[in-house]
Structure 1
């Protein structure tokens, strides 16, 4: 079962990029607001994916159904961000297990 939740979150930063050199390649690592939210939410058991948009001020979270809308909101707030609104956008009760 998949639950998808959408949040309007006040994110005021675009983040900054840090170049890390590995041999001949550059890796850019975003250290901004969205990165903090993603890191926090991806650390919660049951979270399948996290999509953030600073421009749209949105966070979309897909879970396995074991986490409530309010629990995700609380985790976002724990990063210091304001959750302006929240809603359940989809509940897919079909498991794709064969």
Structure 2
């Protein structure tokens, strides 16, 4: 999956909220409609985008559609952030060292 596309998908706040809700447990469309300020068609639209991006999987059980978080594509985002994480860690280490020297 293209990292730019993942950022576009994750830029929408309702989609991030849906992923947060599915982080805890698998959810049905009905549960998500109850938990979000969206209509059933709105929830379904966002779920389709998340599914196409590979961020959720669908399991059908009778008339119920269960959605589950698939964290694998998020690894691409985490990999993209890694150099920035190192950059800020180094800067914070330098600041800590500077403050320690100032207090001596």
What TM-score comes out, normalization by structure 1 length? 0.27
Higher strand share: 1
Larger Rg: 2
Higher helix share: 2
